[in-house]
Structure 1
Amino acid sequence: MSFDLIVRGGTLVTPQELRRADLGISGGQIVEVSQEITTGGQALDASGLHVFPGVVDAHVHFNEPGRTHWEGFETGSRALAAGGGTSFLDMPLNSSPPVLGRAEFDAKRQIGEQKSLVDFGLWGGLTPANLDRLDELAEAGVVAFKAFMSHSGLDEFPAADDLTLLEGMRTARRHGLPVGTHAESNELTRGLTEQVRAGGHRGVRDYLNSRPVLAELEAVTRALLFAEETGAALHLVHMSSGRAVALAFEAKQRGVDVTIETCPHYLHFTDEDVERVGAALKCAPPLRSGAVQDDLWAELLSGHIDIVGSDHSPAPPNMKISDDFFALWGGISGVQSTLNVLLTDGYGQRNLPLEAVAALSALNPARRFNLPNKGRLTAGADADLALVRLDETFTLTDLHDRWKQNPFGGQNYRGRVTQTLSRGQTVYHNGRFEDTARGRLLRPGK
């Protein structure tokens, strides 16, 4: 048998094992995995490299249409590919208009197909304004619904009150789609913010104190209750504390269908870094203390966290300048560095197994959002690969997101991505991109 491409001599990293093997690729898919493939085809020498399944980033904000000047499919997908990413799931905000119906879905899909370097799926919104349009979003092909339990920062994407969230979960269950929640108590965050600001406080520490771990715990508890009541699949996005993860994992143990996501910035930075760096590290939930971060890592190392997604959410520089920290746009750029954080802070420092890195960054998100051809290095899967020189330490300076206000930049990491393949085609290789490549829309089950 002749192949379109044979990846030879690499160490395959799967959630089950590390294995020295060759990959035979044809028609954009892996068709053979063998210790040695002796038949013909163009060869890619992966000797000395670790071959990971391409990162499936389940949480990005690429903002098209409407806010392309913040970030777009072209620049965002290039940055993702440079970090070993081969698929992403784009949130329904901060595009303008947000994806609250079929027309908005189709507009975003068309832009993605024209501009994205790699494959992509689209989230739909779950708000009080579009409960009657969830069915059309499901039929259009959204991978999940996203709801905010506190103010989203954008008036056109209002927070879901309890009844909206409950009814939305019932609809989502009927369609077999997850509901992702930004789980912070609106009552607590709003009340504490008003209290702090009424006292004239505007600084970094004032903002951090206005969004305590308690606000996350309260919202997670409610979301879990609603999921248990409705039987819906719940996905808790960007968990920032080990206590919140523990709550969710306990619910999973008693049968609630819940998956738990955290982000590289919660694993890599602390509240002290926010005070040092400033606006580039503002997010919600905010970064926590070193002790809370240690608890989060303990939960991850125990296997209680399912997914690590970037929550890449940039904005133009002028939105990151103010003497009032509350007024700054809250969002962190990091779509290029998810794998690097897991390999450096995790594998390099905390003994996170490489097999777990493959599960957290690729297989688990593909499974949760029903993308059967993604996240695996097995016959029949799409040939989405990240080739990594694991023993190389490098400084991240070559950033590819639009604004490059990136707190991960300038730091040293272990494990340099040398080449990224999407469906068997090289899209990134040592700082260069294959700009003729175009991604496809990913739909659940396909």
Structure 2
Amino acid sequence: MLLKNIDLYAPEHVGLTDLLILGGAIAAVEKGLDVKIPGLEVVDAEGLIAAPGIVDHHNHFGGAGGEGAFNFRTPPAQFSTFVKAGITTAVGLLGTDGFSRSLTELLAKARALDIEGLSTWMYTGSYQLPGPTITGKVGHDIAWIDKVIGCKIALSDHRSSHPAVETIRALVSEARVAGMLSGKAGVVCVHMGSEASGLEPLREAVKGTGVPLSQFMPTHTTRCPELLDDAVAWVKAGGVADITADEKTPGAVARYVAEGADLSHVCFSSDGNGSMPRFDAAGNFAGMGVGDPASILQAIGDCARAGDAPLEKIFAFASANPAVWLKLPGKGRLEKGFDADLMILDKDYRLRTLIGRGRVMMRDGEVLAKGTFEA
């Protein structure tokens, strides 16, 4: 496929150019491409925007939930859900339920989605420490299982194991070394709650060591004002922070910009397909919702309209930034040699076409690619 006259964000703003896709990868990006290949589809994309496909690095595609009772366990995600949301890469993980949920089942789902057309990775572990593993050891999961790039824990949350600092230090060190040996990030994804301890246990865990703050990926950092304050300070000190995309996202981005933080250290994710429990003032379960994978795409548009950050930085929050910090090869950028994962948007930031690994999965708003058991 040859896209002509597209306004390209790689995510840096390239401007009007042509983009050639061959064999699932980006073959060329330059103005005035004149390519003669039999059967090559040429698309006049004038008036449209191309941006990297979304890298949703926190998605419960195998199902999640369980707070409230067994009937609150969310089902596995369908492939077309990702297509509609502009997601071309997803990282799966367990959540609260490290008891009935299985990492082998999550791994099988990751492989199934990959066959269907979504690029996938996953975390070992869950909220609990010690948490579930596939091989019996976190480091072995990361080192020996291709899809596993790191470990999941929970912190400063009433559903966490409230681990000691020494336990966190040992875990992040194990994950880091396993990642070094296998060429992976070895990141510890940290579900953050709203308890007063905030991110401080993570700071204490690496204090006096050579382990960087960026070995952790704290999530849900807009959960409460105090946690956002802590996350801004964390990023300014060299850490990486994730924003679960929702209506608070534009305000959080504005805060990072105002504080002069390095925006390449900020990521978006959806918490898609995860349960969204609501608790009353006394901490009692009060109801349940389900995370929407399309929240990232919505947040991109909301942040663009708010105008507090350049559009190229906004696209990077959901593509290049997580791809870099999680060391996802070939992902997050639209340049020669990278996977042909891209969104084509109109000027109102509505998804018109989605291409994943060179395959057109949505065209002009119509979903063309569906999962094995989808009608």
**TM-score of the pair, normalised by structure 2:** 0.79
Counterpart pick for 2:230 among 213, 230, 244: 244
Query: As a proportion of its length, which structure holds more strand?
Result: 2
The whole-number CA distance in structure 2 between the counterparts of 1:145 and 1:172 is 7
Tell me the CA shift for residue 62 of structure 1.
2.1
Deviations, residues 194-231 of structure 1 (Å, cap 9, x unaligned) = xxxxxxxxxxxxxxxxx46xx2xx23122123134351
Q: Structure 1 residues 293, 58: CA separation in 2 closer, same or farther (over 3 Å shift)?
A: closer
Say if 1:15 and 1:359, in contact at 8 Å, map to a contact too.
Answer: yes
Where 1:144 maps in the other structure, the secondary structure is strand
Where 2:35 maps in the other structure, the secondary structure is coil
Say if 2:354 and 2:362, in contact at 8 Å, map to a contact too.
Answer: yes
Write the mapping of 1:289-300 to structure 2, written as runs, cut at 5 A. Answer: 295=255, 298-299=258-259
Deviations, residues 279-313 of structure 1 (Å, cap 9, x unaligned) = xxxxxxxxxxx8x8964664588627521111224
Moved more, 326-335 or 366-375: 326-335
Runs of 4+ in 1 over 6 A off after TM superposition: 65-69, 319-325
Tell me the CA shift for residue 245 of structure 1.
2.2
Say if 2:11 and 2:51, in contact at 8 Å, map to a contact too.
Answer: no
The residue identity in structure 1 corresponding to 2:218 is L
Say if 1:83 and 1:336, in contact at 8 Å, map to a contact too.
Answer: yes
2:155 maps to 1:149: yes
Counterpart pick for 2:87 among 81, 85, 101: 85
Name the structure 2 match of 1:417. 351
Name the structure 2 match of 1:51. 50
Say if 1:57 and 1:87, in contact at 8 Å, map to a contact too.
Answer: yes
Name the structure 2 match of 1:260. 241
Say if 1:224 and 1:234, in contact at 8 Å, map to a contact too.
Answer: no
The whole-number CA distance in structure 2 between the counterparts of 1:99 and 1:113 is 18
Tell me the CA shift for residue 8 of structure 1.
1.6
2:13 maps to 1:8: no
Tell me the CA shift for residue 164 of structure 1.
2.7
2:197 maps to 1:172: no
Q: Structure 1 residues 416, 301: CA separation in 2 closer, same or farther (over 3 Å shift)?
A: farther
Write the mapping of 1:27-426 to structure 2, written as runs, cut at 5 A. Answer: 27-40=23-36, 41-64=40-63, 70-74=74-78, 77-93=79-95, 97-98=100-101, 103-104=104-105, 106-113=107-114, 116-125=116-125, 127-130=129-132, 132-138=136-142, 139-141=144-146, 142-151=148-157, 153=159, 158=161, 160-176=163-179, 177-184=186-193, 211=194, 215=196, 218-228=197-207, 229=209, 231=211, 233-240=215-222, 241=225, 242-252=228-238, 258-265=239-246, 267-268=248-249, 295=255, 298-299=258-259, 303=263, 305-315=265-275, 326-328=284-286, 333-344=291-302, 346-390=303-347, 392=348, 415-426=349-360
The whole-number CA distance in structure 1 between the counterparts of 2:284 and 2:290 is 15
Moved more, 90-99 or 236-245: 90-99
Tell me the CA shift for residue 57 of structure 1.
0.7
Name structure 2 gaps, 5 residues minimum: 67-71, 180-185
Amino-acid identity (%): 21
Name structure 1 gaps, 5 residues minimum: 185-210, 253-257, 270-289, 393-414, 439-446
Say if 1:128 and 1:164, in contact at 8 Å, map to a contact too.
Answer: no
The total of aligned residue pairs comes to 344
The residue identity in structure 2 corresponding to 1:145 is C
CA RMSD of aligned residues (A): 3.3
Name the structure 2 match of 1:191. none
Say if 2:54 and 2:88, in contact at 8 Å, map to a contact too.
Answer: yes
Tell me the CA shift for residue 15 of structure 1.
3.5
**TM-score of the pair, normalised by structure 1:** 0.68
